[in-house]
Amino acid sequence: MDREANLPVLPDKPPKSLIRPILNQESTSSSSSSSPELIRHLQAAFKRHRPLNMQTTTIGPRRSVVPKREASRGSRLVTGSTAEGQRSQDVVSLSQSLAANTLTQDTRNLATSVAGESIDNASITPPSVSGTINNMFGESFKPSDRQMDLPKPTVANLESKLDIGSRNENAHKKVQSLIGSTLTSHDMEWDATNQAEASNLGGRTGSRHQNQQTGESEISLKSEYKVSSSLAKTQGHLGEFRNFLNQPASQCSVMGSSCATTTLIHSSSAPMLNATTQVSRSYVEADRNANPHAVKSPGNLPSVHPSSKDRNILHANKDAPASEIPSSTIDTELRVKQTDKSTQQQCTTKVEVPVVSSTHGSDGQANARLPDELLTGVSSQPQKPDKHEKAASSKGTSAPRKRNYDPDLFFKVNGKLYQRLGKIGSGGSSEVHKVISSDCTIYALKKIKLKGRDYATAYGFCQEIGYLKKLKGKTNIIQLVDYEVTDKTLLQEVLNGTMSNKEGRVKDDGFIYMVLEYGEIDLAHMLSQKWKEIEGSDRTIDENWLRFYWQQILQAVNTIHEERIVHSDLKPANFLLVRGFLKLIDFGIAKAINSDTTNIQRDSQVGTLSYMSPEAFMCNETDENGNTIKCGRPSDIWSLGCILYQMVYGRTPFADYKTFWAKFKVITDPNHEITYNQLSNPWLIDLMKKCLAWDRNQRWRIPELLQHPFLAPPIPPERQVKSIQLLSHIAESFGSDDHKANTMISQLEQLLTDPAPLPRNDLLDSRDEKHQLLSRVSELCLQLQDLLLGLEGDKK
Ligand SMILES: Nc1ncnc2c1ncn2[C@@H]1O[C@H](COP(=O)(O)OP(=O)(O)OP(=O)(O)O)[C@@H](O)[C@H]1O
């Protein structure tokens, strides 16, 4: 089949908008007859009058202007009916047949946007930011979005209003200093920006200040007007904040990220958040020491006190009529009853139980009280409708939700509040926020908007919960701490494995919330940093570093393959460092393998271009023998090969092929030879080849890869060592600058040590191979002998 004949011709040149407007050149060429003086004036005039935003966003359409974390969002390819319409520019949408006449508009947009521009995934791009990325909600995501989302005016008042109790005083002071410092930093930003932003109490602008020092010098800019104008709001936030801190601790919190590690990793990028984690840990530990059984809460506030809403929940849990039960609680209860109880309890019951006991138990009565005026303050505060969520409960998918918290500051998942600390990143389908729970544990909260998506896609997103539940307790997979799907029917269907509404679209404004273990940095950024260190020096990648992380990558993928799950979107950005170890994330397009087969059935082609296997590009087409091309575990192995290649060489194997079609063509061509530049360790090349074999049946499986000589170098037997000693003795005669002799010696050494790179199992099985090997050895020996004789002749 001549696939290319059907391919639409895409422009080789990048779209105009992507062409860097080099004013100098244009001016020069268009006025070639003018005097150089005039040109200079013209250029100066252009520069002077260029609008500000043009300077920052229009010029320099470099892909490298991607914020940390955001950088690694690659071009995910989604095809056919399952392609969701609201992807960011990084997302490719292709019709299933890949024929020109069936290409969707999205595809054209993508293909155009990537033409001439590297679509090799921004994952190795330095985490510097100078541009703006639109996220799925149409909001502009700026680098500053990563910063604290706390309300500015809350700062000044919090410290004075939160009492410091005598018990755990140090720890509480730390919390307060944290609050003070983080909010103060935010204040600075707020004060420095225009007044219109003062009303944005969500603080979405975030702080661009990278350190406290800078912030301190600007604090004097704070105007009295701004503080007083937002006083009323501040009271409300204070109430919310206190209320938040009074929430019961989640037992799941022990799974949160190590604060110390977080501090270490992020020290350069998010100093304020570092302070947060560090202090929260101190607090948690101090409190634990003081009373290991108490539910943690800072300040001298009672240790456990539910919000007014929580009290409703408690009633409901006891004997209150159903009408009083908030919807989320009903849903939670429902889910616990209707689904796998043991698993559910881990995620939901754990969270609610402390609330019940603390309020209804005798201790609870004594402890769980906030000052009434504070509660009043919370409930009387005008509620800001969340533009994303206000319709979430409409049309019967879930009952109307009353809010007693500011959605700009908090997320609520299963009745538990999580305070926003900043946006970490946004993928093609989601946005991920760093949050802190009431027990001061840091989590990542992934929020996926469902509205407008086709049902199958929404179903797929929801399946991620299913996979993560299945992978609970697996240390090399990111752990799901809690979750909520506002569309209960959808969740129920996913959990039951049914799909009734395959063709429909999600109309209700539903969301999926997933509270996840927090990862400090992803592999894409680790690689980018590593390569920055290496570039400009004559060093190559440290093999031990490579072994350390490659082994973890393999083990993580092995875990899911053993569970019969194919990830389908393996790339550096989907491996997160948690407490020093890599964990796999993003099961958004993962698929389970049916028990009677080894492949998964896909309705569409999915993945991230640079890491997609040939069969992923051709999924569901027929090969030359008429067999349907399917994806299975080998498809993940190919992606692993691309990751390893990137770790070794600093770029993916097909990075030179810039456009989608160029990549498609080369990756699906069985005769294309991937270039492997020479390395000091030939095993490394062999290992990459084992993963990147075009024929998926030739690719090694993970158990084999874990035994590959690169990870498990063979120990040479005594005899071999002797032969190597002999060779090094001979090598000394030639000196290091005799390239020819040294090449022969190292070839001989390799042949004698281990006749690589033959597959280990059929090592020297055939007589012919042994014969060939011996003749090659003797040939090299004779040549070396000649060289040695020549050398001695020269000396005489
Ligand atoms: N648990 C976590 N801890 C820290 N950061 C996370 C976590 N989960 C996700 N992220 C960040 O958010 C980004 C997007 O997350 P994720 O890949 O799960 O979303 P997605 O919408 O499926 O993205 P994609 O389109 O790349 O598949 C990740 O690359 C990572 O940087």
The residue-averaged pLDDT of 785-795 equals: 79
**Would you state the pLDDT for residue 756?**
57
| Residue 554 banded pLDDT, cuts 50, 70, 90 | very high
The residue-averaged pLDDT of 627-633 equals: 83
CB of 437 shorter than 6 A to ligand 1: no
Give the nearest ligand 1 atom to 517 CA: 1
CB of 424 shorter than 6 A to ligand 1: yes
371, part of any domain: no
Q: Which of 475, 451, 472 is nearest to 461 (CA)?
A: 451
The domain boundary, picked from 686, 714, 742, lies at 714
Each residue of 248-257: pLDDT tens digit? 544 333 343 3
Q: How far is CA 518 from the centre of its chain?
A: 10
- Statement: residue 10 has pLDDT above 50: no
Each residue of 709-723: pLDDT tens digit? 999 887 766 666 667
Q: Residue 260: which H helix or E strand, with range?
A: helix 259-266
Q: In the sheet that 607-608 helps form, which strands lie side by side, from edge to edge?
A: 92-94, 76-79, 607-608
Which comes out higher in pLDDT, residue 369 or 785? 785
The domain boundary, picked from 462, 483, 518, lies at 518
Sign of the four-CA dihedral 637, 641, 647, 653: negative
**Would you state the pLDDT for residue 545?**
94
Tell me, yes or no, whether 666 and 725 share the same domain: no
Domain count, the chain: 3
CB of 567 shorter than 6 A to ligand 1: no
Q: How far is the CA of 91 from the centre of ligand 1 (A)?
A: 14
Tell me, yes or no, whether 586 and 570 share the same domain: yes
Q: How far is the CA of 307 from the centre of ligand 1 (A)?
A: 31
CB of 123 shorter than 6 A to ligand 1: no
Q: Which of 80, 85, 130 is nearest to 109 (CA)?
A: 85
CB of 522 shorter than 6 A to ligand 1: yes
Tell me, yes or no, whether 664 and 731 share the same domain: no
Q: How far is the CA of 427 from the centre of ligand 1 (A)?
A: 6
- Statement: residue 503 has pLDDT above 90: no
**Euclidean distance between CA atoms 506 and 449, whole angstroms:** 10
Residue nearest ligand 1's atom 11 by CA: 425
259, part of any domain: no
Q: Which residue positions form the known binding site? A: 446
Q: What is the mean pLDDT of the chain?
A: 61
Q: How far is CA 401 from the centre of its chain?
A: 30
Two tokens, residue 362: 């005798």
CATH of residue 424: 3.30.200.20
Does residue 146 contact residue 47 with C-beta atoms inside 8 Å? no
Which positions ≥6 away from 688 have C-beta within 8 Å?
Answer: 641, 644, 645, 648, 674, 676
Is 163 an annotated catalytic residue?
Answer: no
**Euclidean distance between CA atoms 671 and 695, whole angstroms:** 11
95, part of any domain: no
The residue-averaged pLDDT of 575-588 equals: 93
Q: Torsion angle, CA of 296/301/302/307, rounded to 10 degrees?
A: -90
| Least confident residue range of 194-208, 238-252, 466-480, 542-556 | 194-208
**Would you state the pLDDT for residue 236?**
60
Two tokens, residue 746: 């190292």
**Euclidean distance between CA atoms 192 and 215, whole angstroms:** 10
Q: How far is the CA of 196 from the centre of ligand 1 (A)?
A: 32
Which positions ≥6 away from 419 have C-beta within 8 Å?
Answer: 150, 241, 244, 409, 410, 435, 436, 437
**Would you state the pLDDT for residue 235?**
61
Sign of the four-CA dihedral 737, 741, 743, 749: negative
**Would you state the pLDDT for residue 229?**
42
| Least confident residue range of 173-177, 274-278, 341-345, 608-612 | 274-278
- Statement: residue 454 has pLDDT above 90: no
Residue nearest ligand 1's atom 29 by CA: 573
- Statement: residue 52 has pLDDT above 80: no
**Would you state the pLDDT for residue 702?**
96
**Would you state the pLDDT for residue 57?**
31
| Residue 599 banded pLDDT, cuts 50, 70, 90 | low
Does residue 25 contact residue 676 with C-beta atoms inside 8 Å? no
Helix (H, G, I), strand (E, B) or coil at 385: coil
Outline where 618-668 has alpha helix (H): 633-649, 660-667
Q: Which residue has the tokens 């138990």?
A: 361
Tell me, yes or no, whether 560 and 686 share the same domain: yes
CB of 205 shorter than 6 A to ligand 1: no
Tell me, yes or no, whether 508 and 423 share the same domain: yes
**Would you state the pLDDT for residue 470?**
93
**Euclidean distance between CA atoms 735 and 463, whole angstroms:** 62
| Least confident residue range of 381-385, 407-411, 473-477 | 381-385
Does residue 640 contact residue 608 with C-beta atoms inside 8 Å? no
Q: Which residue positions form the known binding site for ATP? A: 446
306, part of any domain: no
Q: How many CB atoms neighbour CB 337 within 10 A?
A: 9
Helix %, strand %, coil % of the chain (to 5): 50, 10, 40
Tell me, yes or no, whether 475 and 602 share the same domain: no
438, part of any domain: yes
The residue-averaged pLDDT of 329-333 equals: 35
Which comes out higher in pLDDT, residue 720 or 348? 720
Does residue 141 contact residue 158 with C-beta atoms inside 8 Å? no
Q: How far is the CA of 109 from the centre of ligand 1 (A)?
A: 24
**Euclidean distance between CA atoms 438 and 250, whole angstroms:** 8
**Euclidean distance between CA atoms 273 and 334, whole angstroms:** 36
The residue to mutate among 146, 431, 432, having the most atoms of ligand 1 within 8 angstroms of its beta carbon, is: 432
Tell me, yes or no, whether 422 and 559 share the same domain: no
Does residue 688 contact residue 708 with C-beta atoms inside 8 Å? no
498, part of any domain: yes
Q: In 384-535, where do the E strands start and end?
A: 410-413, 416-426, 430-437, 442-449, 480-485, 511-517, 521-522
Catalytic residue among 149, 331, 439, 569: 569
194, part of any domain: no
- Statement: residue 208 has pLDDT above 90: no
φ/ψ of 690, rounded to 5, equals -65, -30
**Euclidean distance between CA atoms 504 and 696, whole angstroms:** 35
Tell me, yes or no, whether 562 and 581 share the same domain: yes
CB of 516 shorter than 6 A to ligand 1: yes
Which comes out higher in pLDDT, residue 780 or 296? 780
The domain boundary, picked from 653, 682, 714, lies at 714
Give the nearest ligand 1 atom to 73 CA: 26
| Residue 242 banded pLDDT, cuts 50, 70, 90 | low
**Would you state the pLDDT for residue 676?**
96
CB of 584 shorter than 6 A to ligand 1: no
In percent, the amount of the chain with pLDDT more than 70 equals: 44
**Euclidean distance between CA atoms 755 and 751, whole angstroms:** 5
Each residue of 58-117: pLDDT tens digit? 233 333 333 344 444 444 444 433 333 333 333 333 333 333 333 333 333 333 333 333
CA angle 601–603–608, rounded 5-degree value? 95
Outline where 503-632 has alpha helix (H): 523-534, 543-562, 614-617
Give residue 164's identity as a one-letter amino acid code: I
- Statement: residue 133 has pLDDT above 50: no
- Statement: residue 565 has pLDDT above 60: yes
Each residue of 635-656: pLDDT tens digit? 999 999 999 999 999 999 999 9
- Statement: residue 258 has pLDDT above 70: no
514, part of any domain: yes
The domain of 438 spans 407-518
**Euclidean distance between CA atoms 481 and 485, whole angstroms:** 14
CATH of residue 600: 1.10.510.10
Give residue 746's identity as a one-letter amino acid code: S
Tell me, yes or no, whether 450 and 486 share the same domain: yes
**Euclidean distance between CA atoms 721 and 633, whole angstroms:** 39
The residue-averaged pLDDT of 339-365 equals: 33
The residue-averaged pLDDT of 319-345 equals: 35
Tell me, yes or no, whether 649 and 614 share the same domain: yes
CA angle 179–183–189, rounded 5-degree value? 165
CA atoms within 13 A on the CB side of 777: 15
Tell me, yes or no, whether 681 and 593 share the same domain: yes
Q: Which residue has the tokens 């990537």?
A: 114
Which comes out higher in pLDDT, residue 421 or 69? 421
Tell me, yes or no, whether 679 and 737 share the same domain: no
- Statement: residue 555 has pLDDT above 90: yes
